[in-house]
């Protein structure tokens, strides 16, 4: 991807310097706090529960109980325990935590939730119910293919909390990340407080790859839990980026043409983001471009480690770090060479991208653009010149003429002009290809439209606009199995597009699948 749709952020909690009462077991409380810092929620919860049984009104026990409840996704309970602790005389040294508990409890007070074996998704009523339905299977697949493959088992009886918010301000309030940092780097999701937080695609103009994003955040949780929160940010992000695609395909698929182009531009200028600049969070980098480059760099580093011993090697790396081995020594063992040699070879590998040539004239750029609800900014801008990226002047002129003809309702004449433009550029330009496919569909030439769409997706696999067009093409030709597959992939970016469920509803009605028919009708009703 060209854009940073998400800059991930993990947080290591500092021990509170509070004055313990002589009632509760001081060592147990300090140990519980250390376990929470190390993302060992089950063990911390057990210790705090023991203290509760003996000292239910001790203010320090109540405060730690609030932390545990907050991490477990019991937001109202966390606020209640926090208030009880203060009533009993507790004076917090962590005012940021107090505020995030209050804000999260307030924001989620009207939320609904849906649960699976290992996850509990909290969401605002109505439209985001669709996302919750779709997200749970993605998370369970991530649990198996990311979590278990890295040696993670969630053993708590309480599922991992997943919080869906609807704007950047809400994400800021529930995560403590600054709004300006979220907007500068296009942060869309965060893993923190032993839970996953993600912005609804409804908050964006065009949607985004929410399935890979939530899998990425889960990978962060796994990395923290397996390493006892000892992994530095560069390795954290590299591992999460490498593993994020494993929920439904092979690991490392995030290394696509857009990422390679980002590395090529950096290699040509020899300007890279250092590990020091990445600390303490990618969200604190200066721009979306810097964040994109940083992600590309650390992904390449983990690709190098994976090439040595695969996923099992990465699993063992986390084990060694979790047991106290330094990151440098653990990497040296896995890589088979000193850490300094690893760094040198990694930098040389990045520089070699200066020789990389993109396969197509224009790579697919998908900037995440958040809506501004305060300005009633609910629709995508419609004043963009979608032919501006076409470098061939003749092709650009043909495309502009075609657009004018479409506006006048002269679709057959527009098709002729689109054909001229396309012959000069082939599938190099996404906007032009989409328009040409649409013109062919309008003319009923589905076979030609299908061939172009299929060829296009081989190079631009992330373009869900063309993917949805291809699904409609398959449906028009009664290729129901292929159509369903393309509709299913389309929801991974924009699950609120009614066209998806209209197509799936037609197939369900034809195949007499009553349960699916009812579900898609319900979704369409929600989306009205």
Which CATH number goes with the domain that contains 179? 1.10.390.10
Tokens of 153: 């088992």
Q: Which residues pair with 192 in a beta bridge?
A: 195
Does residue 261 fall inside a structural domain? yes
Give the C-alpha separation, 224 to 10, whole Å: 8
Indicate whether 144 and 283 sit together in one domain.
yes
Give the C-alpha separation, 48 to 519, whole Å: 43
Does residue 20 fall inside a structural domain? no
CATH code, domain carrying 87: 1.25.40.10
Does residue 453 fall inside a structural domain? yes
Cα dihedral across residues 326, 331, 337, 340: positive or negative: negative
Indicate whether 123 and 262 sit together in one domain.
yes
Does residue 481 fall inside a structural domain? yes
Domain limits at 81?
26-93
| H/E stretch holding 163 | strand 160-165
Per DSSP, 345 falls in state H
Indicate whether 343 and 492 sit together in one domain.
no
Indicate whether 441 and 297 sit together in one domain.
no
**What pLDDT is stored for residue 4 in this prediction?**
37
Indicate whether 139 and 276 sit together in one domain.
yes
| End-of-domain residue from the set 303, 338, 355 | 355
Does residue 311 fall inside a structural domain? yes
**What pLDDT is stored for residue 14 in this prediction?**
33
pLDDT one digit per residue (tens) for the chain, 528 residues: 333 333 333 333 333 434 444 456 889 999 999 999 999 999 999 999 999 999 999 999 999 999 999 999 999 999 999 999 999 999 888 899 999 999 999 999 999 999 999 999 999 999 999 999 999 999 999 999 999 999 999 988 899 999 999 999 999 999 999 988 888 888 899 999 999 999 999 998 778 999 999 999 999 999 999 999 999 999 999 999 999 999 999 999 999 888 998 999 999 999 999 999 999 999 889 998 999 999 999 999 999 999 999 999 999 999 999 999 999 999 999 999 999 999 999 999 999 999 987 655 444 445 566 665 444 443 334 444 667 788 899 999 999 999 999 999 999 999 999 999 999 998 888 889 999 999 999 999 999 999 999 999 988 887 889 999 999 999 999 999 999 999 999 999 889 999 999 999 999 999 999 999 999 999 999 998
Task: Say if strands 160-165 and 119-123 run parallel, antiparallel, or are unpaired.
Answer: parallel
Indicate whether 208 and 314 sit together in one domain.
yes
Give the C-alpha separation, 237 to 10, whole Å: 9
Indicate whether 459 and 517 sit together in one domain.
yes
Indicate whether 259 and 124 sit together in one domain.
yes
Does residue 3 fall inside a structural domain? no
Give the C-alpha separation, 187 to 202, whole Å: 15
Q: How many domains does the chain have?
A: 3
**What pLDDT is stored for residue 385 in this prediction?**
60
Indicate whether 315 and 446 sit together in one domain.
no
Indicate whether 88 and 227 sit together in one domain.
no
Does residue 103 fall inside a structural domain? no
Q: Buried b / exposed e across 132-167, counting CB within 10 Å, b at 16+? A: bbbbbebbbbbbebbbebbbbebebebbbbbbbbbb
Indicate whether 458 and 339 sit together in one domain.
no
The answer to whether 42 and 155 have CB atoms below 8 angstroms apart is yes
Give the C-alpha separation, 81 to 100, whole Å: 14
Does residue 102 fall inside a structural domain? no
Tokens of 90: 């507790």
**What pLDDT is stored for residue 11 in this prediction?**
32
- Spatial CB neighbours of 212, under 8 Å, sequence gap ≥ 6: 244, 245, 247, 254, 492
Indicate whether 347 and 291 sit together in one domain.
yes
Query: How many CA atoms does the CB half-sphere of 461 hold within 13 Å?
Result: 9
């Amino acid at each position: 991807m060209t854009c940073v749709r998400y800059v991930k952020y993990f947080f290591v909690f500092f021990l509170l310097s509070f004055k313990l009462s002589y009632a509760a077991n001081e060592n147990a409380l300090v140990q519980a706090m250390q376990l929470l810092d190390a993302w060992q929620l089950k063990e911390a919860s057990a210790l705090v529960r023991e203290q509760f049984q003996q000292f239910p009104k001790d203010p320090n026990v109540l405060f730690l109980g609030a932390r545990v409840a907050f991490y477990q996704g019991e937001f109202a309970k966390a606020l209640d325990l926090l208030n009880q602790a203060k009533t009993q005389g507790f004076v917090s040294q962590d005012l940021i935590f107090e505020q995030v508990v209050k804000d999260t409890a307030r924001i989620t007070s009207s939320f609904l939730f849906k649960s699976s074996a290992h996850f509990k998704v909290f969401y605002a009523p109505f439209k985001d119910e669709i996302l919750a339905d779709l997200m749970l299977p993605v998370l369970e697949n991530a649990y198996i293919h990311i979590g278990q493959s890295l040696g993670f088992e969630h053993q708590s009886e309480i599922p991992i909390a997943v919080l869906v918010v609807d704007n950047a301000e809400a994400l800021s309030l529930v995560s403590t990340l600054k709004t300006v940092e979220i907007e500068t780097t296009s942060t869309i999701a965060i893993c923190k407080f032993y839970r996953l937080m993600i912005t609804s695609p409804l908050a964006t103009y065009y949607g985004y790859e929410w399935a890979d994003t939530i899998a990425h955040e889960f990978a962060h949780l796994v990395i923290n839990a397996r390493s006892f929160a000892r992994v530095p940010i560069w390795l954290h992000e590299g591992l999460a980026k490498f593993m994020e695609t494993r929920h439904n395909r092979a690991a490392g698929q995030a290394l696509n043409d857009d990422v390679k182009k980002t590395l090529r531009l950096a290699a040509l200028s020899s300007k890279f983001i250092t590990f020091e600049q990445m600390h303490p969070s990618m969200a604190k980098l200066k721009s979306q471009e810097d964040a994109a480059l940083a992600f590309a760099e650390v992904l390449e580093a983990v690709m190098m480690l994976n090439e040595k011993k695969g996923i099992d090697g990465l699993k063992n790396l986390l084990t060694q770090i979790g047991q106290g081995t330094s990151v440098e020594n653990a990497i040296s063992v896995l890589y088979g060479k000193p850490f300094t040699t690893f760094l040198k070879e990694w930098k040389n590998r990045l520089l070699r991208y200066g020789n990389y040539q993109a396969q197509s004239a224009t790579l697919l750029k998908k900037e995440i653009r958040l809506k501004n609800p305060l300005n009633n900014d609910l629709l995508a801008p419609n004043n963009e010149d979608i032919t501006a990226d076409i470098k061939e002047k003749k092709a650009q002129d043909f495309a502009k003429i075609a657009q004018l003809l479409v506006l006048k309702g002269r679709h057959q004449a527009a098709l002729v002009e689109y054909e001229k433009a396309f012959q000069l550029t082939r599938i190099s330009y996404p906007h032009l290809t989409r328009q040409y496919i649409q013109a062919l569909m309008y003319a009923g030439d589905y076979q030609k439209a299908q061939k172009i769409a299929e060829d296009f997706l081989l190079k631009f696999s992330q373009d869900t606009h063309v993917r949805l067009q291809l699904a409609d093409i398959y449906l028009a030709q009664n290729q129901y199995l292929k159509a369903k597959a393309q509709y299913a992939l389309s929801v991974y970016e924009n699950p609120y597009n009614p066209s998806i469920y209209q197509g799936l509803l037609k197939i369900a009605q034809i195949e007499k699948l009553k349960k699916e028919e009812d579900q898609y009708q319900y979704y369409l009703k929600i989306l009205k």
